[in-house]
Amino acid sequence: MDIEITSVEVVSRIFLKWNYQTTSEGRITKIKASADSPIHEDLQEALQALVPHFVLITEMKKKQDVVKAIDLKHLPEELLKKYKVTGVTIEDKKGDISYTILGYKILNTGKTVSFPTPKIRTSASEDEAYEFLSKLEEQIEVIKEEVLEYMDGKEASREQTAMDFGDDFNPEEAGEGKEEFTEEAAA
């Protein structure tokens, strides 16, 4: 069975919904999925690596201000403070593949504006082609691999944060001085 990821989107900042299709014996099955497991940091980082592409394609910054960040492993803080990528859609229409990046800009007021990039077509003419298409495709492959690993159980830790009440805290004494609720008292 062959699995092909067709869209990925982070919801509520830590959960994932995605679409994929399976091909088995010539039969294509399209599936929409979501999970309540928090995504692993690797998937989050893989999506954020698309921020320079998102900014460049939507013309939020000048090319010379963003190009260097495309090759960086750690993105400049100024980009990560202002822009977030929440997902990507991959369309394949008879071999004509196109990508759409979903993201948002954080305004100076703290509010956000969400929007997608225009479609980036792999078969676009030379003058319409996205200059950094190969880098974009490499990063999308990383994201697809991370989603497949998520499907296989790779997720963020579900550990609950421990609370330190200090050495003097005694949980048995915490309830002292309070009345106990009984049905007789309520009547």
pLDDT at 181 over 90: no
The verdict on residue 164 lying in a domain is no
> Which residue range forms the structural domain that includes residue 135?
39-152
7 inside domain: no
Contacts of 49 (CB under 8 A, 6+ apart): 75, 139, 142
For residues 21-33, average pLDDT: 93
- Check residue 51 and give its pLDDT: 95
Beta strands 96-106 and 112-116 are: antiparallel
The reply to whether 30 falls in a domain is no
* Residue 134 CA: distances (Å) to CA of 37, 153, 170: 31, 29, 60
Report yes or no on 186 lying in a domain.
Answer: no
pTM over 0.85: no
Establish if 19 belongs to a structural domain: no
- Overall domain count for the chain: 1
40-89 pLDDT tens trace? 999 999 999 999 999 999 999 888 888 888 877 678 888 889 999 999 99
Q: What single string gives the DSSP state of each residue in 27-75?
A: EEEEEEEEESSPPPHHHHHHHHTTHHHHHHHTTSS-HHHHHHHHT-SS-
